Amino acid sequence: MEYRNHPIEAPELNGTYTALITPMLEGSGLDNEIDYEKIFRLIYDQERSGVRGIVIAGTTGQSSTLSPEEHAILVEKLFNHVSYNYPNLQFIVGAGSNSTREAIDLSLNIERRIGPSSFLHVTGYYNNPPQEGIYLHFERLAKLLPNSNIILYNVPGRTSSRIEPETVIRLSHIKNIVGIKEASRDLEAVHKIISETNKERFVVLSGEDDLVFQIMHVGGLGVISASANIAPKYFTRITNASLKGDFRKALNLQEEINPLVRQGVFYRKNPIPLAHMFDSELRLPLVKLPYIELHLEEIFKNYTAEELGIDLRNYRRV
């Protein structure tokens, strides 16, 4: 049976979205094969923990180490798996590039394979364009992908390329640009974006796992989270509580999980700590670091598998 995707509209975009890791098998560091058995297991645990959706091949998914064709094949395989097994799980695809042409080509390839989609697109890392260049990058993506929706991704800590609030507000008027993953850590800018965009057609999602409560408290509607790989239940509880207006509960949960976020998942550059947690390999230039294991053991003493939603024993290689 052939499945066809459909883009997520702004009113449907809320809650917790897990930016999935791409588990890999042992190899040379150049061409490690993707561990599909492990990623299928991870999707099962995410869905069971109540996440709203998943993001495939983002930063956490080692997208920068995937070839364009491999990237598209990964998306197609996971889309078919999710469509058959978890039809209510929303599906977002990372397809960004610092080359507008490459971002368009990859997105069109994915559209041909699975249908119109919801794409997460990052800004121009390395070439660091001015604001007009950033605007035109996303404007051109939206124009050439008219049947898909686009979520902006502002992560200057990774790209050295910040989407200024004025540019976000300007882009929010384009019909198929439906939201932003905000990872600038600038709460004043986040508040300005939320205040000056139409929440019915443009949504702000946190891109900072330790600031989900703060961003939702000023009007954000959810999170795209790397840490939800290991703690999906915590993040679904934080976002569900916030969406219901129970910010006291959301704050308490945020404070409980922040040690795992800050000292665990982001102890070293993401996704290196997650690779240790899930007994996965990385592709170069990412590498595992021997001293992380003992550090993570100390962090995990504060949480149970039931609380997190993930039992890491199920991910250990025999």
Active site residues per annotation: 153, 181
Please tell me the distance from the alpha carbon of residue 264 to that of residue 273, in angstroms, as a whole number.
Answer: 7
The residue with tokens 């939800």 is 228
Q: Letter for the amino acid at 235?
A: F
Q: 92 has which bridge partners?
A: 55, 118
CA distance 224 to 182: 9
261 neighbors 40 (Cβ within 8 angstroms): no
Which helix (H) or strand (E) is 97 found in, with range? none
Give the C-alpha separation, 113 to 181, whole Å.
25
Angle between helices 68-85 and 100-114 (to 10 degrees): 40
> Of all residues in the chain, what percent are helix, strand and coil, respectively (each to 5)?
50, 15, 40
